[in-house]
Structure 1
């Protein structure tokens, strides 16, 4: 009996010694905790690595059996892939992440899971939270414009309607998500000029047709923004304010932290400016919360809430390429800003995400969400405008109320160290109204409901030098029915080693994109418009091919060719020439192709420099009968330049940091639409500066300057942009670690 007991004790202690918890803490170069990093335990004896995500405090607990040593691989968005050896006797081990070139940085948007950019099968660029804090962008347009391949067109100054054009696609061909929730109207319309990036922890810009993973609207790009997560055990209170010329002032406050199973970040931000021209003021207020609770290592819950409200003046088009006086047919026209135009926007976003880890290699996310958008555009008619087409003095009011609510499921299964499967299901209720009650003669009304479903699957394989990513989405949309959306991407590493040429990779992809019709196109009716519930989805057949060349382990040369064939594009067609009544139809087809060339460099851990050039050629291949320039067959697509370039220099240290961003946009076709025969907008070069200095651990001073060369330029013809402007301020920090 005693012998049996002794044997049992020996076995018990042996099992206890063989099975233990390995705690990995992940921190950034400034020793701050990194949340949401994927930590994998890799051993030669096991084909399937055990994985875990780090908590808000940067901690991941892995259950290990047997003896070490262990190899731990960490994929943290915004950092280089980190692989370290952990001693066999270690119970707690800290891993410090490092920065790398953009091509070697971990991203999420390309596959919806953390992956090294070079194996992502798509072109992704990003801005870190530190870069965004240094740049201090008023809105998303002020940050995205410095990323490769992005062409931003803002109608005027801060708060003006701002659009993004990528690879020749329309401005509503971009899927925009904040904390995983789409913030576009049904049909892809979004104003980047009012999308605040306050408290943004990271921004990723994914180019190409991405509807396989992201559904409708992801025809030419995806823009994702994530809100900062609290990570300090001691609560951290931050607040600050700044001011500048043109009556500009802003302020913010946040309270964030993490303790045990809880983390939180509650914040608010206010921005006001008068602008440089009459009726060009802008005001934006943002409040939000990001809170998490992890009842166990396998289950976590996260609630995100965000409310944004903005009001801006709408002076209209009045100064065309520096000129507001025109002589047409012997008559002189003097244009001035519209003093009665106003635009208001109010939106609310909420999401609740449940993450469940079932087994060592299966992660599931269940997300419920709601997004509500209300916009009001009005004009009191106090500023009549004389044009060759007559005097325009018609008060109007346009009201849009869009609500999106639904449920998303995503499951990620890591079946082998070289294979991962992602599956998903989405249900979305889109409902809303689009009403233009004033003026009564042209009044239009529309109200609609769509119940949409989609399921997708993606398989990612890494086979020695070859990367394969293949997926397909099946969509059921109330308006356009059932559609399949495939995508395949291949990458091959032709050269691995070498001192000068330290890596050569070729890549290519075939993809399709879809975009649902806007509510205005499907449901609205008026004296001059009939609704069309039978519209098809707009589509994109996208091809791309390119290569990456690493140089001296510090530089990466990236070059890509893209070819987009957009078809079933929706345009308005008059069907009764007597009553001028018409409706929207799938009538247009267009082509956009070109090349992107970029140089990425991580000169030191603190200093990075990226530069890019994009050539884009566009043409309308098919247009509605009777179309006139600039919308006729054979015309180039409006507001898309042939030549554009960007550069971004960042220095981020512990005591001080700075950014220098440059954006060149060449001449592009445009129109005044008022009969003044203006058909283009000149090119321009924009240079922005930002910097900060930490006086001590509690006080930081900062300053930002936009258009420091003080150039007159217009991104949209008729709408002068802001001349040289600056802001300076201080931020304070109490608590934290």
Structure 2
């Protein structure tokens, strides 16, 4: 009897499976398609998210090396499809799945004036309209139209960001964001931190031919990036391999003895892609012992085994030599007519990204940055060297109704040579972040990071950002947070009695907030953004005179930097326009110094109260034209040589400078270009005592083989 029942039970199960299997198959299907840009080039690595409108269900994938994706076992019903790719506008579409869905090729548009996808603001791909922070993106189309040669010159047309160069090409170039110090902005190249530990980054030497885009995020970002991100983050993304093999060579020459050559090889094969860029620049600048030589290489390599995993490597090598004549403006005396510098910058990064199921994305990365600097003078050579090893783990968990929860850990081993002694310190950062959207109007991002540093101990940096779409064309923004910056190695370990290091220094800190409104007009063709920001910096590190006549670094300073930003963006057909105006109210609140420009109440050094710029770019199939102008107002400054003399200078006059370029494709894949810098031959000094170049004209040609037309 028992055997008969078992036999009948087995037959019943078999019959049920035979009947239910086709029914289940009929109630689910696959959704697939391919993603391209406007040139019909495939976009690999784009995030594809399918969310059910009827039930708690979510499917996620990423495009493969051909830009294609497939989502299987999708139950019948209504869904919203969203595709996110870095530097492109988000794509959204409502779908009804009643059978297998094969989408027409999805074409993602290059950044409009309002909405684009960024990675830097949250370390995850996020639409800019969901961010509470003020952001900017410089894309490849802008770089091509401008024909600008260096990354620093690209950043000159970013609101509230001041670029200062000591004299001519190759001179030390630093940036000041929202009134912060020159070492308050985190600089990344493909995720690799390139700041000196606790210090500045010299932007003079990075060429633009290898850059895919630059993302600028304002405000304290220490909640996700840790030390040095007090006033913001600037991240440079290098160009990946092209979908079709291509080779490019350009040559240009101009006045001041300028000659430059650039070559690039990009392409893909099966699951691999690669991009290699080589550049060589030689220029004499103005005056004796002011020549500059730059040889650079950038490599970007990718491997995409399937639609769920990506492995990417980055390499860079920049070698420079620059004469260092010292101050060279009329009326100033140079103290180093035969000095020169040599600089070697090397970096590498390896990143692995994997999609686990439909909800978890994991990132593993290793970064290396090595910097050697030598200064040769009549008193003998001096050397500065530092190395940073960095390991990262980052995870994103996507919830259907609760947004995206991110978590991670970063470990840095920093090494430097100070006073001929090898020094090292470790930094470990633990962070969490939650992004949530409510009512399709409100986006909230909240996060906190705990930093454990062998130099200054433990520190906590929270951050909150809110974006509220009041109407489809009106958005309100607010963000607030804290930032930190570790001491540099000189401040910790120097043995020179005139600037003795202090191993007990605390981290410099900030407390900041911003509020803004963004208004779009004419179907998002025009966007205006008004922002008020307020930064309070404390624990500033300064030299304090000791009773024995020596000077030692201590935490005593406080400064205030607040102001207003007005940004306008417009794009009409082939013409794009942008303008920026920044008002900055900044001064020292607390200091032990008794002389200008470091006394309490003194304005912040080299940061103008008023600054503005505008650019216009016109792109047609056969030609491109570009114009930019910038105004920098009067600012506090000193050459630090004549400050003890009667009537010494305490300010630097304002100036206006304009640049332009024109490119024409006179044969298929062969083009010629001309670039004019300082068109009206203005006489000015970005840093007091260092004369800027007069009118510069460069003419060149570019040959391109293969690739997408």
TM-score range, shorter chain: over 0.9
Note closer, same or farther for the CA distance 1:338–1:490 as it changes in structure 2 (3 Å cut).
same
Deviations 1:462-487 (A, max 9, x none): 11222211100000001000000000
Q: How far does residue 352 in structure 1 lie from its aligned partner after superposition?
A: 1.0
The residue number in structure 1 matching 2:650 is 679
- Structure 1 contact 238–734 (Cα < 8 Å) conserved: yes
1:220 to 231, 246, 270: 231
For 2:598 and 2:550, how far apart are their aligned partners in 1?
A: 19
2:257 to 247, 258, 266: 247
The residue number in structure 1 matching 2:529 is 558
Note closer, same or farther for the CA distance 1:643–1:279 as it changes in structure 2 (3 Å cut).
same
For 2:22 and 2:204, how far apart are their aligned partners in 1?
A: 63
Query: Aligned ranges for residues 13-52 of structure 1 at < 5 Å?
Result: 19-52=28-61
Query: Aligned ranges for residues 293-332 of structure 1 at < 5 Å?
Result: 293-319=303-329, 323-324=330-331
For 1:57 and 1:681, how far apart are their aligned partners in 2?
A: 54
TM-score by length of 1: 0.89
The residue number in structure 2 matching 1:374 is 372
Q: How far does residue 345 in structure 1 lie from its aligned partner after superposition?
A: 1.2
Q: How far does residue 11 in structure 1 lie from its aligned partner after superposition?
A: 5.3
Query: Aligned ranges for residues 634-649 of structure 1 at < 5 Å?
Result: 634-649=601-616
1:175 to 179, 182, 186: 186
Deviation larger for 626-635 or 364-373? 626-635
Aligned residues: 691
**Equivalent residue of 2:601, what SS?**
coil
Note closer, same or farther for the CA distance 1:535–1:627 as it changes in structure 2 (3 Å cut).
same
The residue number in structure 2 matching 1:473 is 449
For 1:50 and 1:679, how far apart are their aligned partners in 2?
A: 62
1:66 to 71, 75, 80: 75
1:703 to 662, 674, 679: 674
- Structure 2 contact 280–295 (Cα < 8 Å) conserved: yes
**Equivalent residue of 2:528, what SS?**
strand
2:563 to 590, 594, 607: 594
Query: Aligned ranges for residues 16-415 of structure 1 at < 5 Å?
Result: 19-67=28-76, 71-85=80-94, 89-232=100-243, 234-319=244-329, 323-324=330-331, 335=333, 338-380=336-378, 395-415=379-399
1:631 to 598, 602, 609: 598
1:692 to 641, 657, 663: 663
- Structure 2 contact 309–353 (Cα < 8 Å) conserved: yes
Q: How far does residue 291 in structure 1 lie from its aligned partner after superposition?
A: 1.1
Note closer, same or farther for the CA distance 1:41–1:669 as it changes in structure 2 (3 Å cut).
same
For 1:217 and 1:2, how far apart are their aligned partners in 2?
A: 70
- Structure 2 contact 45–310 (Cα < 8 Å) conserved: no
Q: How far does residue 4 in structure 1 lie from its aligned partner after superposition?
A: 9.5
Q: CA RMSD in A?
A: 2.3
For 2:267 and 2:703, how far apart are their aligned partners in 1?
A: 16
For 2:395 and 2:621, how far apart are their aligned partners in 1?
A: 38
For 1:296 and 1:314, how far apart are their aligned partners in 2?
A: 51
TM-score by length of 2: 0.93
Q: How far does residue 183 in structure 1 lie from its aligned partner after superposition?
A: 0.6
Deviation larger for 530-539 or 97-106? 97-106
The residue number in structure 2 matching 1:448 is 423
For 1:622 and 1:185, how far apart are their aligned partners in 2?
A: 26
Deviations 1:253-300 (A, max 9, x none): 222112332111122111111112222221111112211112232222
Q: Is 2:462 the partner of 1:462? A: no
- Structure 1 contact 641–665 (Cα < 8 Å) conserved: yes
Q: Is 2:540 the partner of 1:531? A: no
Deviations 1:367-404 (A, max 9, x none): 01111011112223xxxxxxxxxxxxxx2432111000
Q: How far does residue 5 in structure 1 lie from its aligned partner after superposition?
A: 8.5
The residue number in structure 2 matching 1:724 is 695
Note closer, same or farther for the CA distance 1:730–1:69 as it changes in structure 2 (3 Å cut).
farther
**Equivalent residue of 2:546, what SS?**
strand
- Structure 1 runs not aligned, ≥5 long: 326-334, 381-394, 436-444, 497-502
Note closer, same or farther for the CA distance 1:285–1:47 as it changes in structure 2 (3 Å cut).
farther
Q: How far does residue 22 in structure 1 lie from its aligned partner after superposition?
A: 3.3
**Equivalent residue of 1:216, what SS?**
coil
- Structure 1 contact 48–415 (Cα < 8 Å) conserved: no
- Structure 1 contact 100–602 (Cα < 8 Å) conserved: no
For 2:394 and 2:12, how far apart are their aligned partners in 1?
A: 53
**Equivalent residue of 1:715, what SS?**
coil
For 2:528 and 2:707, how far apart are their aligned partners in 1?
A: 40
For 1:731 and 1:277, how far apart are their aligned partners in 2?
A: 30
Note closer, same or farther for the CA distance 1:256–1:57 as it changes in structure 2 (3 Å cut).
farther
For 2:602 and 2:371, how far apart are their aligned partners in 1?
A: 34
2:510 to 515, 534, 540: 540
**Equivalent residue of 1:294, what SS?**
strand
For 1:663 and 1:24, how far apart are their aligned partners in 2?
A: 45
Note closer, same or farther for the CA distance 1:529–1:165 as it changes in structure 2 (3 Å cut).
closer
For 1:9 and 1:423, how far apart are their aligned partners in 2?
A: 45
1:667 to 604, 629, 634: 634
